[in-house]
Structure formats: C-alpha cells, structure tokens
Amino acid sequence: MLKVIGKIVIIVSEKNIFSLTNKYYSYVFRVGDGGILEHIYYGSSLKNPNNSVSHHYQTHRDGVLHFQGKKNYNLSELPQEYPTFGSTDFRFPAFHCKNSDGNTATVLKYKNHRIIKGKNYLSALPSARGGECSTLIVCLEDNLHKIEVDLAYTIYDNYGVLVRSANIKNNGNNKLELNNIYSSSIDLPASEYEILHLHGSWSRELSEESMIVPSGRFVIESNRGSSSAAHFPFIAVCEEQCNEIHGNIYSSSLIYSGNHSISVEKGEFNDVRLLTGINSFNFNWSLNPGDNFQTPEAVHVYSKNGLRGMSNIWHSFIRDKITPKNFNIKPRPTYLNTWESSYFDIDHQKVLKLADKALSIGLEMIVLDDGWFDRRIDDSSSLGDWYADAKRFPDGIQDLAIQIKRKGLKFGIWIEPEMISTKSELFKKHPDWVLKAPGRIPSLGRNQLVLDYCNADVVNYIFDKLDKLLSGGNIDYIKWDMNRNMSEVGSPVVSAKQQLEVPHRYILGLYSLLNRLTKKYPNVLFENCASGGNRLDLGMLRYMSQSWPSDMSDPIGRLNIINGCSYLFPLDVLSAYIGPSPNHQNGRISSINSRFNAGAFCAAKGISLSDSDIDNNANELAKLINFAKEHATDMIGGSFYRLKKSANVFCWQYITKDKKKCFLLYFHILSGPNEPFQHIKLVELEKNSKYKQTSNGKLYSGNLLMENGFTLPYVSMTNDNKSISYMPKGDFSSKLFVFKKV
C-alpha cells in the first residue's frame, strides 16, 4: 500500500515494510518473520526507502539464544521499534511491565496498523499540533497477557521532525504493573557517536556538555517532579566529526514537564539505543483490565547538516507546532518587572511610580512580580491565598491594573499557583492539600510545600482563584512560577498501592489546569518560570508562549544560557531583561548596553531596575527600548545562528524571516590589547542583494558578508571619514550591528 499525503510518503509494502519519508528524512522499519517490529533505517531522505531493507543486517551470530526457537535469530543485537524485556534482548527496554504471573517477560508482536491524515492528539497530555502531516499507528500485541501497544508515528511535510508516542492497553483480565513505558526507542547502527546535552542548576541553566558515547548507558533524567535545570529533556546524538554545519544528528526531546529520562545505551556490538520518555525510576502504574496508559510525545529531529541544521528544525517546529498560536507570531511588549527593582518592598504607590518611570523611557508593560498578595513581605508566607495585601494594595489588583492601563501600559502579574506556604489561610484550612509521605516531616523548599495536584479539589480551587484574578479582564500577562523541587512525594487522595503514580498524576493535574485556563484566557500572555529554568520544556511551552530561562541577569552568564537554549528553543520563546549592576547573582559590573545586548535576540525584552537606576540611565535606556520596539516584530519568526563561541567570544546572527534585516552580535568577555581581526562569515543572506550597515551607511554585498565575512573586533570610519567607531573597550563589552537589505 502506498499512501502519499501531501509531500509525505508512507509506504507499507506487501512485505510489511513501513517507510515514512519526507524531504528531510526517511524512517523505515518492518515486521520481521516472527512478528517483531524491526528497525531498519533512520537518516537522510531516501528515493526508494523500501530498498533499504536489502542493507539491513540480520543477526547471524550463533548465540546461545534462539528467539522462540528461531535458529540464528535473537533480539540481543536486533534493532527494534519498541523493545521489551524478558526474552533475548538484554539492553534497557522501552517497555517493562509485570504481568499477573509475577514476571516481566513480554513479547510484543505486530497485530495491525492504520494510517490517519493529520495527527493523533493525546488525552490529558499536551501534543504537538498537526496540520500537513500524517500518522502511522502500528498496533503490537502480547498474545499471552493481552497487552496491546499502539505506537504512533507522525511525519510532517515541512519539518525534519518525527513525533512518537505509545498507548498501552490492558485487554486481559488481570491487573498489569507498568514499570518502564518509554514514548520512543530508536536503535541506531553501530558507530562512534557523541552526545550533546544541556545541564545546570539555578542561575547557570542550560550549560552544554559533549562527550563520546561510552559503552554502557548514559542517562539524563529528573526525579524532582519537574523536568529540571539539572538535566533538560534534550539530547543530540551526533555522528563522529559532527560540528555546527556538518554531520548527521539524531536529537530527541519530550513534550512533558515532569520526571523524564532520555538514555543512550551503547551495547556489546556498539549498537546505540536512544530511549525517550517518563523516568522509570520510582515510577509504577497499575493498569486495570480495560484501562490504557498514554505516554507523552517524544519529538525527534534528524539533521544531516550538523547542529545548525538541527537547531533550525527545532526552532521552526517549536514556534509553529508547540507554542500557543495566539502569540507565536506576535511581537512581545517591552516591560518593567518589579523583582530585581524592588523585591518584596513593593506597594500600590511604588508600582504607580515605576509605571511612570517605565512610560518615561518608552516601556509598554509593567509586571508586578512576587510580593503583592496578603502578608507577602518575604518568601515565608501566603502562597495559596492569592488575594491582594490590604495594607500595601488597598485598592486591590484590579483597580491597580485599571490605573496602570489608564496610563497606557499593559499590566502583568506574578503567581506561583502550585505552591502553598505553611503560613497561609489555605494551609490552616486544608493541611492535607499538600504532597507528603505519611509519618514523615515534609521538607520545606523556599519555605513552601507543593500543593497536591492529584487532588481535583485542589486544582479546582486554584482554577477559581486564578479565574477570579483574570476575569476582571485587566491582566495582560501572567508569570507562572514554580520555585521548588518535590520531596516526600505522596498524595493522600491516591491509594497506598498507587503512590508511585503521584508524580505523573501531579503533571496531569497541572496540565488540566493549564488547559482550562489558557483556553478560557487565550489573549493573556503566559510566561513560564521555575526559579528561572527549572521547568523549561516542550510541555510547558505548549501552554505558555515564552519562558524566563534563568534568574541570571548578568550578561556573561546570560550569554551561556541563551547559547544553550538555542540548540533547541527558538529565541522567540525567551525573555530577557536588563537587571542591576553589580549583578545580584554574581556581583559582576557591566554596562547597560551589554546587559541589553545579551538578550537582544530574545522576543520579550524588558528591564528590572530601581527608580534611581532608571533615572541615572534614562537616555540610554530609552534608546535601547526604542530599538527593542522598533525590532519587536523582527525578533519573531526569524533564524538564529551561533556563528562563533570560544572561551572569550560569542558571535551570533539573527536574520528576519523575509531576510530584509540581519543582526550581528559580537561579545567578548575579557578584552585584550592589539587583538587580531577575525572574519566572521554571515549566513543565509541573499547572495546578490546589498546590505547596508545602519550605523554608518556602508554597503556590503550578501555574497561578500557570507564568503569573506565581517571584520571583528570592530574598528571603522564613517563613510564621510568624519569619525571612527570602535568595539567598546574593556571587559564584557559587546557590539550589535544591524544590516538592512537595500
């Protein structure tokens, strides 16, 4: 059967070979003789993918094991689509479940398949949007215990993306215990690979690390309840010698905000297995007869053009198919956030005063961060109550918002709806509404406990509180924070036997709340935050248009974070502000200009400065904000490139979608005397067009900028030879160039 849908081809041959092909890649597998789904090929697009089976190797090693009596056939080396445990494959499986006999031996064999136009959507979990795509669903069955697994594969016309998920059904008469249920497994052929992944902690999120794939199993995972800054749910498996421009890359992420696991296992025959899904550590799910379990979606990006090619695909896919449609092509308002400007020392009058300051330098929104609700004068109290502090905000939030809006500004507010302070009315009333393990003292994190989102009453209570806040219609933006990891995880509303389901049930509760709220308030701009980037993932971005990637507002710290982000996330989803100097996180002193430049390509830009800082730098701030506003539309939907990153230099390019404007940012950390010049080669310009450097009117051909490059660090005369412009002297300095097509 040949199915051509748009520009995608899904072929199912008489020999039961399945191939998914678009212009970016082919993905091929087949039903082996014994019914096992055997993986054949994943890589650049093939003209005749079904022929790839002739290159497929069979296991002819005469090992001691013969799978189900089949001579010379065992699963220990065989690339598979959804490997199980208990038979002849000893690698970490995609599926591991205890059946009613008490063992975990499972054999999943092909049962049937179907192809749907468009995409399947997951119930209770966020899914990537469909559109011009089609989905192959292959049903596997364990005949003995009547376990059915639907593997879904979505391929798109216009993206090098494969979306996979699995749905497990218990068609038997006995309960099953699911231990691992990965969303996807990809067996790559034996080769030398490198891994790139992103790790970190508070204020130093998204640091990149690369290493050769070792023999054994390398795992990034979270068991903190959120996807975490420790290990972002993202891995790129790169073929040896891969770099920004060249090489095959297989990358993976998960549309999920809870405990994830992505592992890369190099087996005894150097074969490599990439598993992506919910973390199986401390996880167990009881599947009653007739029930099913849906995994989150794993998203895979294949690039044959190195890291740059990979990032381009992620960026466009996340922008087009993940982030909310209402904002994904909208410029974001410039803003003043009260956090590093005032911390908890905030009240009605101060907000109004800051609003006037914001207006005076051209900002468009004021965001009232933490500290606005009852008795919230530090971080020890009142989370969960969510009404304005009567002393400091006597007119309430709606009234304040109206006053702000009368001035011509938008109004945004900070909330942390998943948390509860022990010093709160809510805790007095409902001490059982928290995650806790019976008999244990729950550990506090930032003086707070985590609300039990497994409990529908809790979720409804928070929905009502937020509904009340938003229904006044005066709030344009919400910063949704989550400031601690989960400990002593247990829920009083879940049975003792099912306690290991709690972290996943929590995430389902969170998604149900986000779903209701964002559906009811589609015009409110939601920003995701979790002590900065402790929950920056595709799951949250499915509901929220932007994310605060880190509390690190120092430009050098921020550059690293944005660079890490850029492997996966388009800068359309990031916010950045000019914070104080010396920086409150690392004490570094830096110029306003460099603080702005580090975040110049992020879609949402603002400041968080005190009155006096604003007064002392008003002219410079006004200029920068004007620049941000002038280019707000440009910073959505374009392409971002990492041109250079060394120990001392960051050089990035951003080009608008229509290629009419190109921005080049050069940043050096420490300055040196008498620096050699470098020719930084720009990319993706129009070869035959001319580009004018806006600061001095100089013209360059696209070809020249791409082939010969632009000379940095910068020293240049103006066209009329009247003045010389330099790269600013000193450490932590930067220069941002704008080129306009003429």
- Contacting residues toward ligand GLA, per CB under 6 A: 339, 369-370, 414, 481, 483, 529, 531-532, 548, 551
- Complex with ligand GLA: residue 73 or 414, whichever CB lies closer: 414
C-beta of residue 385 within 8 angstroms of C-beta of residue 424: yes
Nearest to 186 by CA among 300, 324, 70, 306: 300
C-beta of residue 443 within 8 angstroms of C-beta of residue 436: no
- Calculate the alpha carbon distances from 246 to 198, 241, 308, 409 in Å: 20, 8, 8, 47
- Complex with ligand GLA: residue 237 or 475, whichever CB lies closer: 475
Could you give the CA distance from residue 569 to residue 312 in angstroms, rounded to a whole number? 9
- Complex with ligand GLA: residue 125 or 540, whichever CB lies closer: 540
**Structure-block tokens of residue 408:** 């011509």
- Complex with ligand GLA: residue 283 or 339, whichever CB lies closer: 339
Q: Give the dihedral sign, CA 672/674/676/677.
A: positive
Residue nearest to ligand GLA (CB): 370
Given the structure tokens 């109206």, which residue do they identify?
A: 402
Of 551, 554, 613, 634, the catalytic one is 551
- Complex with ligand GLA: residue 247 or 532, whichever CB lies closer: 532
- Complex with ligand GLA: residue 235 or 576, whichever CB lies closer: 576
Estimate the crossing angle of helix 396-406 against helix 348-360, to 10 degrees.
Answer: 20
Could you give the CA distance from residue 145 to residue 165 in angstroms, rounded to a whole number? 21
The amino acid occupying position 167 is: N
- Complex with ligand GLA: residue 264 or 529, whichever CB lies closer: 529
Q: Is 507 helix (H, G, I), strand (E, B) or coil?
A: helix
710 beta partners: 680
DSSP string, 141-168: EETTTTEEEEEEEEEESSSSEEEEEEEE
The amino acid occupying position 372 is: W
- Calculate the alpha carbon distances from 444 to 420, 447, 483 in Å: 10, 5, 11
User: Least distance in Å: CB of 379 to ligand GLA?
Assistant: 6
Of 370, 481, 554, 613, the catalytic one is 481
Estimate the crossing angle of helix 456-471 against helix 502-520, to 10 degrees.
Answer: 20
User: Least distance in Å: CB of 414 to ligand GLA?
Assistant: 5
User: Least distance in Å: CB of 370 to ligand GLA?
Assistant: 3
**Structure-block tokens of residue 191:** 């080769």
The gap between the terminal CA atoms of the chain, to the nearest Å, is 51
**Structure-block tokens of residue 329:** 């092509």
Please confirm, yes or no, whether 551 is among the known catalytic residues: yes
User: Least distance in Å: CB of 675 to ligand GLA?
Assistant: 36
Nearest to 576 by CA among 568, 590, 557, 567: 557
Could you give the CA distance from residue 121 to residue 83 in angstroms, rounded to a whole number? 24
Nearest to 144 by CA among 184, 84, 88, 65: 84
User: Least distance in Å: CB of 97 to ligand GLA?
Assistant: 39
- Complex with ligand GLA: residue 244 or 551, whichever CB lies closer: 551
- Complex with ligand GLA: residue 165 or 560, whichever CB lies closer: 560
Could you give the CA distance from residue 303 to residue 301 in angstroms, rounded to a whole number? 7
User: Least distance in Å: CB of 403 to ligand GLA?
Assistant: 22
- Complex with ligand GLA: residue 479 or 542, whichever CB lies closer: 479
The amino acid occupying position 709 is: G
Residue 282's region, left for phi above 0, alpha for psi from -120 to 50, else beta, is: left
Please confirm, yes or no, whether 389 is among the known catalytic residues: no
**Structure-block tokens of residue 59:** 């296991």
Nearest to 53 by CA among 19, 21, 2, 10: 19
- Complex with ligand GLA: residue 148 or 370, whichever CB lies closer: 370
- Complex with ligand GLA: residue 154 or 382, whichever CB lies closer: 382
Cα dihedral 59/61/66/72 (nearest 10): 70
Q: b/e per residue, 386-421, with b = 16+ CB within 10 A?
A: bbbbeebbeeebbebbebbbeeebbbbbbbbbbbbb
Could you give the CA distance from residue 111 to residue 108 in angstroms, rounded to a whole number? 9
C-beta of residue 146 within 8 angstroms of C-beta of residue 263: no
Could you give the CA distance from residue 259 to residue 256 in angstroms, rounded to a whole number? 8
Which residues are marked as active site? 481, 551
